Structure 1
Amino acid sequence: MLGPSVIHHAPTLGVIPVPHGPETGEEYEDYPAMAHGAGATEQERRILGHMTHPDDSFTPEGVYWADLPFRERIKFVSRVQAAEDRKEARATWEMFKKDPLSPVSYYFRNAVLPGAGLGLEGYVLFSIGNLQPLFAATWPQCWADTGKECTNNWVAAVTYLEVVGIMAGQVGVGIIGDWIGRRWGLIQDAMIMFIGLLMLTASWGLNLNGWVICYAWSLFFYGFGVGGEYPITATSSMENAVSAGRLSTREDRLHRGRKVTMAFLMQGWGQLINQGLLIILLLIFHHGSGDPPYSAVATQWTFRVSFALPAVGTLWLVYYRTYKMRGAGEQLKASKKKHNVTGYDSTSLKLACSEMGGRLLATAGTWFANDVMFYGGRLYISKFIQVLTPGNKSVMVTWVWNLCNVIVSLAGYYLASLLIDNKLYGRKMMQQVGFFMCFLMFIIPAFNYGYYSSKAGIHAFQAMYFLSSFFNQFGPNSVTFLVAGEVFPTPIRASAHGFSACVGKAGALLATVLFNYIDTQTKFYFFPWFGLAGMLLTWMFLPDTTGLDLKEQERRWSYIRQGKGDQYHGIAVHPTHLSLWERLRGIGKLYDPKLDERSRIEDLRAEWAEREAMRAEAEVAGNAKQLEELHDDHDFNESVHGYFTQTTTPEMKAMLASEKRGEKGGSSSASGSTVANSANPSPMLLPNPAAEDEITEEKPKSSAKKDKSSSKKDKSKEDKS
């Protein structure tokens, strides 16, 4: 065990030190040799506690929040959440006092801009469905079921090609995002969507059938860009929730889910803006009336202007992503550098399929079930409009009800973002409750369809429609988008998200095809069971990552990648953060906080050694930007630096830096497990107490005093936080 640190006084330059003489020099702190058993010493906890036991996840006694008894867990989580709420309220008030519009600009930077691509995607895709009844009313000879001027297959292909394009983009851009980088994927998506919108705006043909063919292929092209927005926006929003390349921050642990869902809910705003704008445009170009008959000129102006307006926003998005998001993907670069990978990390992909197959089944399967349910919601609106307004042929009635539904959905989006990081509710519970409520909202009218589709029960039918929309957003639609990337490691995060989204879109395609072949009553019998299946898949195979530090997930992945997964004992294998399937496989038995405490310190030592090597290279190369980034990382403060400097031999420092940076094919997991788990560690790996005085002398005389004061300041800051 480490003893207490000893304060020494350095001799004053030019003065010969005399035994029992006056203490003339500056103070510096000497760190005794570290222990090699399980657990950490009090001194190590004091110096490294802000990294190993952050106060938003651990009690002052070092107990993880998920290890607390139920009542104490509620108290701890509520206390941390209340403190964070007060902190955010104070910060917002201070911003408001300085500039009343600054909270709005903050929201714009942190929610609107990251989700701008999804907002444009929601706008255009929602527009496709809204425009079809207008096209059918204007050109029945082509879009109506009895139309003969256009080929039926091409009219149907408008929907199918759109979905196929989205699926191709989800998989393709997901791979590109992990291979070339997040920033390239973001720019490419915006460019494709911009060109696609120009194609949709200018779509034309020698006749109606030619226009339909041009319109369908334009949707396919645009759909590829839209599909890519799913994996690339989710991963970049998640990884940019913290500063470049850094995973372990308070912001990440407490607000990672909110950061992603606030970007995702821009999809709902896109739908709202589209529906409102279509209503306004039709009134403008149809002489102030929304009633049929609709002229071809009014319809042409309405749909072309509705596509041209988002093209302007998408062009601006190309500029913003090109020149203002240069740091996107830093976390991926750091991960590739760590594992000595260039290009696509196929090793991680193979490992993920074998080690995390259950998670992939959960993310892809639940997304599939949700999309079937989501598109099944169309069953409601056509039926209750038919009952409430018999004989109605105006598209305006349908559009107004759609507008009401989008507003209800937005409430679900915002409530999801509010509670998705709450450790007492969180991702998994939210998705299960959402699926179950959607199941109820479909199964109830399915077995009493005659009553609910009559005038006597139509208002209850409407209520169930709006409730299903609310719980779809306050449930699986928001959660699937988040966890499809979150539960996987950085090297294959975009690929896993893209694959899951692609499987989900296959559910939408299934629902679209089935709509053409079964009657309404049968549809209500068919769709509810996907809600139940989604709930069961979530319960069995989806882990709950609420409150989990992503750095711990990356630590575990490093161990797995080195073939030492059974040597990881940290919170990423805590039963709370594992699925039922993973617990049945015995993965949760690896959790041992005492064993992990020593491993974490040694992993931090390896990370520190890597940083020192990077600092030396940056100084030689004169890279001021990298030096500034290293200096701004407050986790590795002067106290931490002093501790590792005096308890790490030069040989060990060089070897750890080499392994950490992949020069010998190793990783931080290898270095950590070597010291912590080896029964007879090599003497070179052990700190050399005899060399400590030499190391101490190399340290500037004033550094110990700075370390001491820095430690006190850091502790004070943590207490205030």
Structure 2
Amino acid sequence: MAKEQLQVLNALDVAKTQWYHFTAIVIAGMGFFTDAYDLFCVSLVTKLLGRIYYHHDGAPKPGTLPPQVAAAVNGVAFVGTLTGQLFFGWLGDKLGRKKVYGMTLMIMVICSIGSGLSFSDKPTSVMATLCFFRFWLGFGIGGDYPLSATIMSEYANKKTRGAFIAAVFAMQGFGILGGGMVAIIISAAFKSAFPAPAYEDGALASTVPQADYVWRLIVMFGALPAALTYYWRMKMPETARYTALVAKNAKQAASDMSKVLQVELEPEQEKVHTQDKGNDFGLFTKEFLRRHGLHLLGTTTTWFLLDIAFYSQNLFQKDIFSGIGWIPGAQTMNALEEVYKIARAQTLIALFSTVPGYWFTVFFIDKIGRFWIQFMGFFFMTVFMFALAIPYTHWTHPENRIGFVIMYSLTFFFANFGPNATTFVVPAEIFPARLRSTCHGISAAAGKAGAIVGAFGFLYAAQPKDKSKRDAGYPAGFGIKNALIALGCINALGMLFTLLVPESNGRSLEEMSQENEEENGATEMKPQGASDFRTVPVGSV
């Protein structure tokens, strides 16, 4: 039997969309803008780093980062992010969402600046310093995942909760887009101000000395949006669900939400103490395993599988586009020209597929539901990956490149109008308040484990088999085909594990987590793929 809901929580569930909803989206979303910018901007400058620090005997031909260095530069931030998601997810449930929310931003500001100040006359020292700061940058980014998702879910009403959480995550698309645009502007400005001089044989110098400032400015720009958001984050009140259900302070919860909702709410301290009866189990208990074990398995596995595909695609777009000839070979252009063309290609993909995909989820998640969007996204990602991989030689012909780019863009569209958004939304809705941030952090950390697999695995799979070509910086060959086939199989597995994830559309957080059930009255919530999955109402005949 259900317990009587606290008035303050009920007021949040039924509140009309108000200005505070939009301010919360912007405040939390700017963190995700910064997260995406910082994680993906490095893919725009890795080739430039190779040209500057790993050129070949001083000759005017392009350099490339050794595979182990490229793997470290791309992957170390993900290791930091995974660690931060686990740590700050746990801390958000122990100390409160707001108390640790500002910490993550300050870490991101300091480490973004530090990444660009990685000075040394030795390439190994520059890369080691860069990796150090990018690890801690990732640590701060990791904290933003569980905290932003939890705060937005606990502020939202149940009718449009999915759209609000998805809108926060959709700022990631603008972060990717922003990274490309900043790289275009900076590289174009330097290219115009410092044109590459010609050598005696008429060839252009591959790298002008000023190119060293380009990558530093690009990575340091990520500190700006994080710094601008800090003040507003500190002004947000703690969420009522944490204050009432975890901190047990009904008076403070009612006071905070009375100001936010602009209504009078009575503190109900006596009700607060009844909420934990039968619901005070911990994460490592049989009761949690019975109620939410399959849900946690579903959220972790689907996020893990999704991020293998999503992050490998984002980080190594430049290699794929070089492989099919859409971006010219590195040996045909100077360093600043290469940064410009890589950034332009990735910006086009973000503008016409990545960003629209996020906002399709925002508009449809509370109509279609989380489950079907996730299942559909994995399905179409599988289809398009195989469509690109199986006839790969067909796509490498110059007349077929545009078709390849269009289909490749569609994989990004359905990643974002699909599991990349829903894997972020669902863990913030289905677990109890005192474990919500922790469980979201665990789910997100599983995703970053997948990103690490994608970053390292795709890097080595896509390397040219010929060592001389690999050393000279030539684009990947048929390794890309095998990588795309593997990603297609991974997406197919994602469809299967989506069956473990329950549908949370239109239900309150307490209903989903069963926190409003009487002791011994809670029943195991079935995942979407359980026996009632295909049950539909049938009219009388």
Q: Name the TM tier (shorter chain).
A: 0.7 to 0.9
Partner of 1:135: 49
Larger RCO: 1 or 2 (CA < 8 Å, sep 6+): 2
1:458 to 378, 393, 401: 401
Looking at structure 2, the residues matched to 520 and 305 of structure 1 have their Cα atoms a distance apart, in angstroms, of 31
Shift of 1:108: 6.1
| C-alpha contact (below 8 Å) 1:117/1:190 kept by paired residues | yes
Shift of 1:475: 0.5
SS at the partner of 1:114?
helix
Partner of 2:522: 565
Looking at structure 1, the residues matched to 144 and 24 of structure 2 have their Cα atoms a distance apart, in angstroms, of 17
1:282-324 per-residue CA deviation (whole Å, 9 max, x = no partner) reads 12223357987464643232223234433233223232222x1
Partner of 1:175: 90
Does 2:259 align with 1:354? no
Partner of 1:331: 241
- What percent identity do the matched residue pairs reach? 26
Q: Structure 2 counterpart of 1:184, which letter?
A: K
| Alpha-carbon spacing, 1:205–1:373, altered in 2? closer, same or farther (3 Å) | same
Q: Which moved more, 1:433-442 or 1:146-155?
A: 146-155
Looking at structure 2, the residues matched to 493 and 195 of structure 1 have their Cα atoms a distance apart, in angstroms, of 28
Shift of 1:460: 2.1
Partner of 1:401: 345
Does 2:160 align with 1:255? yes
| C-alpha contact (below 8 Å) 1:428/1:544 kept by paired residues | yes
Partner of 2:36: 122
Q: Structure 2 counterpart of 1:352, which letter?
A: F
Looking at structure 2, the residues matched to 131 and 484 of structure 1 have their Cα atoms a distance apart, in angstroms, of 33
Partner of 1:218: 133
Partner of 1:193: 108
| C-alpha contact (below 8 Å) 1:283/1:290 kept by paired residues | no
1:365 to 289, 294, 301: 301
| Alpha-carbon spacing, 1:362–1:142, altered in 2? closer, same or farther (3 Å) | farther
| Alpha-carbon spacing, 1:457–1:535, altered in 2? closer, same or farther (3 Å) | same
Partner of 1:542: 501
Looking at structure 2, the residues matched to 381 and 441 of structure 1 have their Cα atoms a distance apart, in angstroms, of 19
| Alpha-carbon spacing, 1:297–1:467, altered in 2? closer, same or farther (3 Å) | same
Shift of 1:331: 1.1
Looking at structure 2, the residues matched to 381 and 149 of structure 1 have their Cα atoms a distance apart, in angstroms, of 13
Q: Which moved more, 1:487-496 or 1:312-321?
A: 312-321
2:386 to 424, 443, 446: 443
Shift of 1:153: 4.5
Does 2:196 align with 1:287? no
| Alpha-carbon spacing, 1:181–1:416, altered in 2? closer, same or farther (3 Å) | same
| C-alpha contact (below 8 Å) 1:349/1:492 kept by paired residues | no
Q: Which moved more, 1:347-356 or 1:129-138?
A: 347-356
TM-score by length of 2: 0.78
1:421 to 355, 366, 369: 366
SS at the partner of 2:238?
coil
| C-alpha contact (below 8 Å) 1:253/1:547 kept by paired residues | yes
SS at the partner of 1:265?
helix
| Alpha-carbon spacing, 1:167–1:450, altered in 2? closer, same or farther (3 Å) | same
Shift of 1:527: 1.1
Looking at structure 1, the residues matched to 439 and 217 of structure 2 have their Cα atoms a distance apart, in angstroms, of 36
Shift of 1:109: 2.0
| Alpha-carbon spacing, 1:147–1:300, altered in 2? closer, same or farther (3 Å) | closer
Shift of 1:473: 0.6
| C-alpha contact (below 8 Å) 2:67/2:460 kept by paired residues | no
Partner of 1:488: 431
SS at the partner of 1:541?
coil
| Alpha-carbon spacing, 1:361–1:272, altered in 2? closer, same or farther (3 Å) | same
SS at the partner of 1:203?
coil
Shift of 1:119: 0.7
Looking at structure 2, the residues matched to 565 and 203 of structure 1 have their Cα atoms a distance apart, in angstroms, of 55
1:498 to 441, 445, 450: 441
Looking at structure 1, the residues matched to 39 and 195 of structure 2 have their Cα atoms a distance apart, in angstroms, of 22
Alignment of 1:64-103 (within 5 A): none
- The unaligned stretches of length 5 or more in structure 2 are 197-203, 249-271, 462-478, 536-541
Looking at structure 2, the residues matched to 558 and 447 of structure 1 have their Cα atoms a distance apart, in angstroms, of 51
1:186-220 per-residue CA deviation (whole Å, 9 max, x = no partner) reads 11101211221231132222422211111110000
| Alpha-carbon spacing, 1:455–1:380, altered in 2? closer, same or farther (3 Å) | farther
Looking at structure 2, the residues matched to 387 and 289 of structure 1 have their Cα atoms a distance apart, in angstroms, of 27
Does 2:509 align with 1:553? no
Shift of 1:390: 4.6
SS at the partner of 2:460?
coil
Looking at structure 2, the residues matched to 431 and 213 of structure 1 have their Cα atoms a distance apart, in angstroms, of 38
Q: Structure 2 counterpart of 1:129, which letter?
A: S
SS at the partner of 1:382?
helix
1:331-377 per-residue CA deviation (whole Å, 9 max, x = no partner) reads 11211224688xxx762553323321111111111101111121343
1:274 to 168, 171, 179: 179
| C-alpha contact (below 8 Å) 2:430/2:509 kept by paired residues | no
Does 2:451 align with 1:508? yes
Looking at structure 1, the residues matched to 509 and 65 of structure 2 have their Cα atoms a distance apart, in angstroms, of 53
| Alpha-carbon spacing, 1:159–1:388, altered in 2? closer, same or farther (3 Å) | closer
| C-alpha contact (below 8 Å) 1:187/1:318 kept by paired residues | yes
Shift of 1:583: 5.1
| C-alpha contact (below 8 Å) 2:300/2:447 kept by paired residues | yes
Looking at structure 1, the residues matched to 83 and 454 of structure 2 have their Cα atoms a distance apart, in angstroms, of 18
Q: Structure 1 counterpart of 2:50, which letter?
A: A
| C-alpha contact (below 8 Å) 1:136/1:142 kept by paired residues | no
Shift of 1:581: 3.3
Measured on the aligned residues, the alpha-carbon RMSD in Å equals: 3.5
Looking at structure 2, the residues matched to 390 and 302 of structure 1 have their Cα atoms a distance apart, in angstroms, of 20
Looking at structure 2, the residues matched to 388 and 227 of structure 1 have their Cα atoms a distance apart, in angstroms, of 34
TM-score by length of 1: 0.59
Q: Structure 1 counterpart of 2:522, which letter?
A: G
Partner of 1:580: 529
| C-alpha contact (below 8 Å) 1:409/1:469 kept by paired residues | yes
Shift of 1:535: 0.9
SS at the partner of 1:253?
coil
| C-alpha contact (below 8 Å) 2:389/2:485 kept by paired residues | yes
SS at the partner of 1:192?
helix
| Alpha-carbon spacing, 1:468–1:178, altered in 2? closer, same or farther (3 Å) | same
| C-alpha contact (below 8 Å) 1:174/1:498 kept by paired residues | yes
Looking at structure 1, the residues matched to 37 and 106 of structure 2 have their Cα atoms a distance apart, in angstroms, of 17
Looking at structure 2, the residues matched to 255 and 542 of structure 1 have their Cα atoms a distance apart, in angstroms, of 19
2:154 to 239, 252, 255: 239
Q: Which moved more, 1:131-140 or 1:489-498?
A: 131-140
Does 2:325 align with 1:387? yes
Looking at structure 2, the residues matched to 297 and 260 of structure 1 have their Cα atoms a distance apart, in angstroms, of 44
Looking at structure 1, the residues matched to 230 and 320 of structure 2 have their Cα atoms a distance apart, in angstroms, of 41
| C-alpha contact (below 8 Å) 1:380/1:461 kept by paired residues | no
SS at the partner of 1:580?
coil
Looking at structure 1, the residues matched to 321 and 63 of structure 2 have their Cα atoms a distance apart, in angstroms, of 30
Q: Structure 2 counterpart of 1:280, which letter?
A: I
| C-alpha contact (below 8 Å) 2:303/2:423 kept by paired residues | yes
